[in-house]
Structure 1
Amino acid sequence: MVRTALLSLLVALGGYFSAAWLTHDFQVWTDEGARRLEVALSPVPLPAVELRGEDARQLALPAIAQGQVTIADFFYTRCQTVCLSLGSTFQQLQAALQADGDRPGAAPVRLLSLSFDGAHDGAPQLAAYAGKLGANPALWRFASVPDSGQQQALLAQLGVVVIPDALGDYEHNAALLIFDARGRMVRIFDLAEQQLALNYARHLASKAS
């Protein structure tokens, strides 16, 4: 009886410590949660990537994100599911940033939507998509990565999962990514946490200014 109890206790302790190690002391229970915690603890530098903007201009990471705080997302223009929610969220963020612009001393925060469908989403597609959402280019930029190798490197560096389906569409994770003024990804927020993301970005921008 005592031996059985001791074995049960050892098994329970082993399970506890294994779970604690796998979940960063029970702070996270999923791979996505672990990714977000690791980014918060160790900011991820943005890789050097050439971008194509909605106005057909050549842009570059991390240069486009340096010197200001940026809230970014990944999408593709043909998406009819989660990207629609992202677009709506960014419309609300843009409205809040426009209101900030009317307040003296408000630190600048910018929005950046990056397409991971560089083969399809050229400047005309990005411009049409931006126009449909009423994006103000002074606040909200759109870009894609024409080079497939650089695109994959960017997705891998930032932990963005994109899986093509049999219909020519994609399954992908969606989140609000915060880039600091040094060109690093420093936080990741759920779509439902848009106010938290905005508050954090404002806080970073106020420290940088």
Structure 2
Amino acid sequence: MLRTAALSLLLLLGGWAAASWLTYDFQAWTDEGARRLQVALHPVALSEPLLAQDSQGRSLALSALLGAPGHGPAPGSHAAAATIVDFFYTHCETLCLSLGSSMQQLQAALRADQQAGRDSGLRLLSISLDGARDDPAALQRYARQQRADAGFWQFVRLPQAEQQQRLLQQLGVVVVPDGRGDFEHNAALLVFDGAGRMRRVFDLAEQQLALDYARHLARQPRP
């Protein structure tokens, strides 16, 4: 009986240890939760140069848009002290509608900050999931539909499919073609610091938290 009890205790301890390891000491119970905790503990920097194209057809380094040291800002813009990023595609009629609405509200908050003399240098960046179809003309139309102010909010695609896929994998953005020309994808607000590192991932429902955290990052000196 003692042997059975000891074996049961060992199994219980083993299960507890495994659960603790898999959930980061019980802080995350889903793959997405684990991903977000991992990002918070270990900020993600872009591991290679990636070439983006904006709505004006200009080619520029994605790191420049994210304000990484050693890269100048995009033409006509200022270096970002922090950036809130989302992933979308222009013909999406589901999650992207909610993402667009959130980004519009964030833009309104940034404009209000600027008008009140509190411009922190925080900027917004929307990256297309469909670089093959979302050419500069499509991005420009979409920006107009969203009433985007280029001083606060920019739209880009990665024309090279291989670079787009590597970026999505590196940032943990899940994109699954549905076979009808659309995509299933996770919707979130990714916050990057002025060094171009992803520091946090927030749900759409946590829009205010994302904004507050990005404002906090924008006030910090660059590493």
TM-score normalized with structure 2 length? 0.89
Give 1:191's aligned residue: 204
| AA in 1 matched with 2:50 | V
Give 1:64's aligned residue: 65
| AA in 2 matched with 1:131 | R
* SS of 1:146 mapped into structure 2: coil
For 2:116 and 2:147, the matched residues in 1 are separated by 22
Describe the superposition over 1:45-78 as per-residue Cα deviations: whole angstroms up to 9, x where unpaired: 1241111111211121111111421000111111
- CA drift of 1:99 comes to 0.6
Give 1:49's aligned residue: 50
For 1:164 and 1:30, the matched residues in 2 are separated by 23
* SS of 1:208 mapped into structure 2: coil
* SS of 1:39 mapped into structure 2: helix
Describe the superposition over 1:65-101 as per-residue Cα deviations: whole angstroms up to 9, x where unpaired: 1142100011111111111110010011011111110
For 2:186 and 2:170, the matched residues in 1 are separated by 14
- Aligned Cα RMSD in Å? 1.4
Describe the superposition over 1:78-130 as per-residue Cα deviations: whole angstroms up to 9, x where unpaired: 11111111001001101111111022244121000000101100011111111
Give 1:200's aligned residue: 213
| AA in 1 matched with 2:85 | A
Identity score, percent = 58
Give 1:20's aligned residue: 20
For 1:192 and 1:82, the matched residues in 2 are separated by 13
* SS of 2:138 mapped into structure 1: helix
1:117 has 2:165 as partner: no
* SS of 1:72 mapped into structure 2: strand
Which of 143, 158, 165 is equivalent to 1:152?
165
Is 2:124–2:154's contact at 8 Å kept on the other side of the alignment? yes
What pairs with 1:80-99 in structure 2 (closer than 5 Å)? Answer: 80-99=93-112
Give 1:133's aligned residue: 146
| AA in 2 matched with 1:97 | L
For 2:174 and 2:3, the matched residues in 1 are separated by 48
For 2:117 and 2:141, the matched residues in 1 are separated by 33
1:100 has 2:113 as partner: yes
| AA in 2 matched with 1:201 | A
For 1:105 and 1:88, the matched residues in 2 are separated by 23
- Relative contact order (alpha carbons < 8 A, sep ≥ 6): 1 or 2 greater? 1
For 1:187 and 1:48, the matched residues in 2 are separated by 21
Q: Which runs of 5+ in 2 are unaligned?
A: 68-78
* SS of 1:156 mapped into structure 2: helix
For 2:65 and 2:221, the matched residues in 1 are separated by 16
Give 1:180's aligned residue: 193
Compare 130-139 and 34-43 and name the one that shifted more. Answer: 34-43
For 2:210 and 2:17, the matched residues in 1 are separated by 33
TM-score normalized with structure 1 length? 0.95
| AA in 1 matched with 2:21 | W
- CA drift of 1:2 comes to 4.2
Give 2:39's aligned residue: 39
Describe the superposition over 1:1-43 as per-residue Cα deviations: whole angstroms up to 9, x where unpaired: 4444333322222211110011110011111111111111111
Give 2:70's aligned residue: none
| AA in 2 matched with 1:146 | P
